[in-house]
Amino acid sequence: MSSPTALSVGPDVTLTCEDLERAARTSGVRVEPTSEARDALESARTALDDLREDGAPIYGVTTGFGPLHEHDAETTDAIAQGKGLIAHLATGSGDRLSAPVVRAMMLSRLQTLAQGHSAIRPEAFTAVTNLLRHNLIPAVPEIGSLGASGDLTPLAHVARVCTGTGTVVSEDDTLRDADDALTDAGLSPVSLDARDALALVNGTALMTGTASLAVAQGDRLLTRAEALTGWAYRLLGCSLEPLDSRLHEARGHDGQSKSAGAIREEATRHGPAEREARPLQEVYSLRCAPQILGAARDQLQYVRRQVETELNGVTDNPVFDPDAPAALHGGNFQGQQIAFAADALNEALTQIGVLAERQLDVLLSPDQNDGAPPLLAWEPGPTSGLAGAQLTATALVAELRQNAQMAGTSSIPTNGDNQDVVSMGALAARTAHEQTDHLSSILAILGIALAQLTHLRNEGQADGPAPPLPDWMPTIDPVVEDRSLHSEIDALATRWRRSGDSQAP
């Protein structure tokens, strides 16, 4: 188990996607509410009690849930009502969510609850922090949330584990009864009343947590794509004119200028490397890389702003104002912002993958790589070089494109037509997160190709200079005889996707 790491949550804390990612990839993470958060939790619960004493109608407390809100629940056993809520919601389908995604969901929900507008009891809040501290990961099916009334189904599986029901996933990937796991950890189940139960499930935590992971990984992969492009410029000896800052300042897009600068920095790592043999105007995958990657950079900035706003916001219904006091009934749990943002991220990741695959083709084609062997084969004919790796890159681009459909506009009415417009934000976020896996593999293949061309030149198998590999590129043995590159691609993809993450389980 990794050494525990602490994450502070509260209204006086602003979490970034990277903050959430580091904690989500840490076994035994400790979540510590600030003193402001503790005060806010108490104040919101007091406001709820005062409103009940005044006879105010409160959704999910004095009423039933969803389309049953017109039915009175004032005389209902609150604990039984809460138990029934999480029991009927704990459905779902498909494979289990990974431990980092489940942690990200729980951490996202805790930051929302810590704002002090959810009226959850402090002991129910602590029950969730205890699961994280003892690395008790609820078994959560990946499919089930519509991102409408929040991520009801996946969050219900977390709430059930707090009560000693449901299952958790052990570190060896086996399932255990929640009650046994709590006992072994020295924890007791918590009873959730109707408000506690609703506060735990009624928010955008899965989509927000998953989107946060995707943003953090996507940002690193964009930076890697820029560096790989610069390496290709240097190795091929491309003209630096397409990277001239004056060109990009004239257009005015900030992301484009930053991408051009990043590419230029890598391209000139060992000084200018331009070669007269290169064409005046390179193919678009090289010449227009600053425009394409710059557009992705601008897109990521928008996505980050949306996701981090949601991460630090309040996504309940009702939202409690402790000062009035008041229970404000509305729709903050509707996840349209995250759905749109995740779709936008998906679009950017896909186009980065398209660009990288085209750059790979340049490197493997003798008519564009200055006469290096086709497919960068050490001995064309007897060996096939990176032929198989290129097929994989092409297949990965097909996967990216197939998965790049918008989810945020695919509403399907449900819940007795109470949820007549839903965001599908969980689907959008989960898809964007999965796209980072595909993109990182394409970038890994591109990196291996650049290394292979360098090796070929070093050994006199191809013409041209062979500048040293950049320090961020791990050692890759030359492909002299055909070998399976599967494990090398996977290792490099994982490294670049999680670069700087020393706490990954």
Task: Please identify which of the residues 59, 233, 284, 302 carries the catalytic annotation.
Answer: 59
CA distances in angstroms from 52 to 30, 60, 69, 74, listed in the order given = 34, 12, 16, 10
Contact 107, 10 (CB under 8 A): no
Q: How far apart are the first and last CA of the chain?
A: 7
Pull the structure tokens for residue 96.
């289990």
Is 96 in a helix, a strand, or coil?
Answer: strand
State how far the Cα of 480 lies from the Cα of 391, in Å rounded to an integer. Answer: 19
Contact 363, 376 (CB under 8 A): yes
**Phi and psi torsions of 312, nearest 5°:** -105, 10
State how far the Cα of 299 lies from the Cα of 344, in Å rounded to an integer. Answer: 7
State how far the Cα of 205 lies from the Cα of 315, in Å rounded to an integer. Answer: 9
Residue written as tokens 């290129």? Answer: 390
Q: Which residues contact 395 (CB under 8 A, 6 or more apart)?
A: none
Distance of CA 290 to the CA centre of its chain: 24
State how far the Cα of 440 lies from the Cα of 455, in Å rounded to an integer. Answer: 23
Helices (H), 377-502: 387-402, 425-458, 486-497
Contact 15, 32 (CB under 8 A): no
- Report the amino acid identity of residue 79: I
3-state helix, strand, coil split of the chain in percent (to 5) is 55, 5, 40
CA atoms 456, 460, 463, 468: torsion sign = positive
- 59 flagged as catalytic: yes
State how far the Cα of 134 lies from the Cα of 239, in Å rounded to an integer. Answer: 56
Instruction: Give the orientation angle of helix 387-402 with respect to helix 425-458, to 10 degrees.
Output: 160
Active site residues: 59
